[in-house]
Amino acid sequence: MKRNIELLTFFFLLLSLVGAGILLKSQTLAGGKAGKKTVSTTKPAAVGGHEDFTDMMNGIHFDFCCSLEALVIDPLGRKLGYDPIKKKRYDEIPRSGYGGPVRGSTPTEALNPPKEIEIVAAINGDYIIKVTGTKNGKYGIGVSTHNTARQSFDKLLAKDIPILPNIVHVYSVHYDSANLSATTVSGGFDGGGQRPKDVNKFLTYANPSDSQTDLPSGTTVFPLMIFYGNNAITSTFKASLNGVDVTSLFNPNPGSHETVNLLLSPGRNVLLLSTDGNLPSRIATDTDRLVFIVK
């Protein structure tokens, strides 16, 4: 899944220079239609009467495999990718694209094609990644980042995660062009309730993606995907399900994540989770209440 970052960066930079402002079109998904291009309202700074394309060297590359479609939302709220539930394709991030890999696929990959997202001239901040299952299977996510100093950093975000059709998992990936090694991943849902900028980051979730989750009749297990923040004091972590202490099901460690299979009953199930965490001047508590309704 690892790519030659410098070669890819040079390729996009060359195309941008030749195109003089013409946006690269995203690769059309199989069975999808080309979406309307949204042109950025901001332009690279002008130097000597010419556009400065230096920022084109800042970039993020995501690899997805397999059994899914992917959608990325950048720090400005622009979307790129495909939502199979809404059957809608998004192409709002300039000079960037989503589709199958440029390289040839192996026979195995041809049956379950991997996907790639390339973001050129990436801006610093948090990127939300939504993956939607297209069949029963497992998936993985890798990220490669690079910057104007020709530095690069690769990280495996997820591996062998089970997913079902139309199930959505949400991640948040932080990008900082000045410190690529600080690339971090957390759950895209913070549970709500406390301050989003810090306290809510002690516990985050890739699944579920909302405070209430409706599940089909007969559901007995829910795979909770939980992330523990770097500043979480995990020795204080507590969890209860329907009033029963289930803390022992979890293995909390700062900066880690895990999948915990919760045993659910028909009807309403309430999961309460909490942990203390360190802020610059005090200790605060992140408390989340997640509801699972089995119809």
Residue-averaged pLDDT of the chain: 83
Report which DSSP code applies to 102: S
Q: What is the pLDDT of residue 105?
A: 60
Q: Taking the domains of the chain in order of start, what are their residue ranges?
A: 5-187, 203-294
In 3-state terms, the chain is what percent helix, strand and coil (to 5)? Answer: 10, 45, 40
Mean pLDDT of 65-71: 92
Q: Is 41 exposed, middle or buried (0-12, 13-18, 19+ CB in 10 A)?
A: exposed
Taking 90 as the threshold, does the pLDDT of residue 186 lie above it? Answer: yes
Whole-structure pTM value: 0.80
According to CATH, what is the number of the domain 203-294? 2.60.40
Report which DSSP code applies to 210: S
- Place 267 in a pLDDT band, splitting at 50, 70 and 90: very high
Distance of CA 173 to CAs 62, 88, 182, 201, 287, Å? 11, 23, 10, 13, 22
Q: What is the pLDDT of residue 103?
A: 58
> Tens of pLDDT along 213-228?
999 999 999 999 999 9
Q: How far apart are CA 16 and CA 64, in angstroms?
A: 25
Q: What is the pLDDT of residue 50?
A: 39
Span of 8-22, 85-99, 108-122, 171-185 with lowest mean pLDDT: 8-22
Taking 60 as the threshold, does the pLDDT of residue 48 lie above it? Answer: no
Percent residues over pLDDT 90 in the chain: 72
Mean pLDDT of 218-245: 97
> Tens of pLDDT along 77-93?
999 999 999 999 999 99
Mean pLDDT of 22-33: 31
Taking 50 as the threshold, does the pLDDT of residue 26 lie above it? Answer: no
Strand order in the sheet with 88-91: 88-91, 79-83, 68-73, 125-133, 168-175, 184-187
Q: What is the pLDDT of residue 32?
A: 32
Report which DSSP code applies to 201: G
Mean pLDDT of 135-142: 93
Taking 70 as the threshold, does the pLDDT of residue 211 lie above it? Answer: yes
- The larger pLDDT score, comparing residue 210 to residue 106, is at 210
Q: Which of 75, 111, 99, 101 is nearest to 25 (CA)?
A: 99
Q: What is the pLDDT of residue 100?
A: 79
Instruction: Answer whether the bond into residue 254 is a cis peptide, omega within 30°.
Output: no
Mean pLDDT of 251-270: 97
Q: What is the pLDDT of residue 111?
A: 67
Q: What is the pLDDT of residue 54?
A: 64
Q: What is the pLDDT of residue 109?
A: 60
